[in-house]
Structure 1
């Protein structure tokens, strides 16, 4: 566990260290991109990460006059897709759009089939706050109802997630610890399949990001609380957990990474394009509809953010919070 965290830190240190690049690398950066780019999403189609990737990929394709192919490689809590990118040629033509599991997997998993140092940060897209939602057809109408069901019998409460070690998984475990209940965690290969079973009544709830607000307003879901300091502006009717006596502030993030060793000028060109995409009306509409707090910024800022998130989670694990997965 400690070794994995050290590897993450080494990856960030490599990014932050400036080095002279050969003339060939500079020439490649100037020509970049001269062929299609593959953007890997380590989740199944129809989830929020997939929506972000497709809208931003479309913009980059128009900006660079090339094709950006979004490829979904879901499963194993993002490990399949992440491992694929970690083994890709470091030339900027294979990128990863991932989320919280990138920082949690090295800490929560005993055997990771890739080295976190094999990837380098490009840009932090944005962050969100976890919101507990249940089906509008559920008999769980309030947070008290959910807690009561959880206390009725150990494991009686079933929470879905987009995969082991994902932010919905961790949010559920942290929430259960705070309220003193035992839950049954049901991992899926992405948010889309998890939502389908939530709508179908096969699970009780999920700690999703504000992307669920659209389904709440459409009457398909019922929001019972949000793990934020303040209420979300897109759903001011949803109370925070703190308002309901539960000390829980937690959320996910979304960001772009590339294989380590990708020339710094290429990383910078990708970063510039990604930052420009955040001002595009079509992209912004998708991000705003999901309730994402848009961030952007430099690769170095994203590296520092990842370092902070890793330290925070490691601190939770060291304090005794049971989040370890196989």
Structure 2
């Protein structure tokens, strides 16, 4: 019996035997210890940086100490399982990513489902973009695609994960134009950035903010997987502008959501603690301190998009449904 099944069993038993006690337990001295924020990526990447600038205002709103712990690996599955197996007592949360969260469940046999977590709210939405090193001859995506036709399998493209939005974008470009890249999983935005800036990888797929707009001039932005230009690199053409709107998910805009989550069972067992986290998180995002810090972090403030817990879960469901449509593409990539 795994931890989740065990906790569900004892929660049900407690509800029958001690009706009405959860509110009393949850209201006494919470939080009475530090709160851990799990980041399923290495330090220095977009998820890590967006989490750390949130810590100070959230600590003040909740009157609690936060500790950020990084658990990279498995395209967020290592950190995901850490959250899944954590006690749902309000002292563990995680800044997680969509669609990686759903992709690990759908394509990597992760033990959790989207119903196994309690959702606190979204943080921001970052579109998917392609970048090339300045040593390459590419000016935009059409140049890259033309070269890939001439040299099948010879152009290395670095991805932030083996599943998720960057891998999906690369797979959709390949499938739409019948080209072949040498796709390499670099496990995170910081690694992607370092590899293309250092010239080890000629082309990468990442998010415009996670890549950091401070790198303008140090790389060549080839195009964003969107219908319109995005706000952080406004000089970069969209796929639709480049005539690449036959690639799926251009009209919707392919990108990455970041959202705050807690282990499943918190909302049921400690509803007051859950609501305290939800309310304090929202207030923290609305503070002037947070908005100013976000602006200093590569204009993160331009892409902040808060959604309430119910709307957050609807977004998770919608992303999960869209990922299922392309399961065959991921299977080909992962089984090669």
TM-score range, shorter-chain basis?
A: 0.7 to 0.9
Alpha-carbon distance in structure 1 between the residues aligned to 2:214 and 2:133: 10
Whether the 8 Å CA contact 1:55–1:282 is kept in 2: the answer is no
Structure 1 residues 82, 292: CA separation in 2 closer, same or farther (over 3 Å shift)?
Answer: farther
Whether the 8 Å CA contact 1:224–1:238 is kept in 2: the answer is yes
Alpha-carbon distance in structure 2 between the residues aligned to 1:47 and 1:286: 16
Alpha-carbon deviation of 1:66? 2.1
- Cα shift readout 1:123-179 (whole Å, capped 9, x = no counterpart): 111212111112233332332331123212322122212221122111221222233
Alpha-carbon distance in structure 1 between the residues aligned to 2:240 and 2:180: 20
Larger radius of gyration: 2
Match of 1:13 in 2: none
Question: Is 2:302 the partner of 1:304?
Answer: no
Question: Is 2:101 the partner of 1:94?
Answer: no
Alpha-carbon deviation of 1:292? 5.5
TM-score where L is the length of structure 2: 0.83
Structure 1 residues 31, 175: CA separation in 2 closer, same or farther (over 3 Å shift)?
Answer: farther
Alpha-carbon distance in structure 2 between the residues aligned to 1:213 and 1:87: 33
Can you give the 5+ residue segments of structure 2 that lack an aligned partner in the other structure?
Answer: 1-17
Whether the 8 Å CA contact 2:221–2:236 is kept in 1: the answer is yes
Secondary structure of the corresponding residue to residue 120 of structure 1: strand
TM-score where L is the length of structure 1: 0.85
Alpha-carbon distance in structure 1 between the residues aligned to 2:219 and 2:27: 46
Alpha-carbon deviation of 1:115? 4.7
Match of 2:79 in 1: 81
Alpha-carbon distance in structure 1 between the residues aligned to 2:233 and 2:192: 22
Question: Is 2:275 the partner of 1:275?
Answer: no
Question: Which one of 326, 330, 335 corresponds to residue 323 of structure 1?
Answer: 330
Alpha-carbon deviation of 1:224? 1.4
Structure 1 residues 28, 235: CA separation in 2 closer, same or farther (over 3 Å shift)?
Answer: same
Can you give the 5+ residue segments of structure 1 that lack an aligned partner in the other structure?
Answer: 1-19
Match of 1:4 in 2: none
Match of 1:5 in 2: none
Alpha-carbon distance in structure 1 between the residues aligned to 2:291 and 2:170: 29
Alpha-carbon distance in structure 1 between the residues aligned to 2:318 and 2:290: 27
Question: Which one of 66, 89, 95 corresponds to residue 68 of structure 1?
Answer: 66
Matches for 1:152-163 after TM superposition, within 5 Å: 152-163=150-161
Matches for 1:1-326 after TM superposition, within 5 Å: 22-29=20-27, 31-100=29-98, 101-109=100-108, 111-211=109-209, 212=211, 214-217=213-216, 219-247=217-245, 248=250, 249-262=253-266, 263-288=270-295, 289-290=299-300, 293-317=303-327, 321-324=328-331, 325=334
Structure 1 residues 221, 244: CA separation in 2 closer, same or farther (over 3 Å shift)?
Answer: same
Whether the 8 Å CA contact 2:40–2:72 is kept in 1: the answer is yes
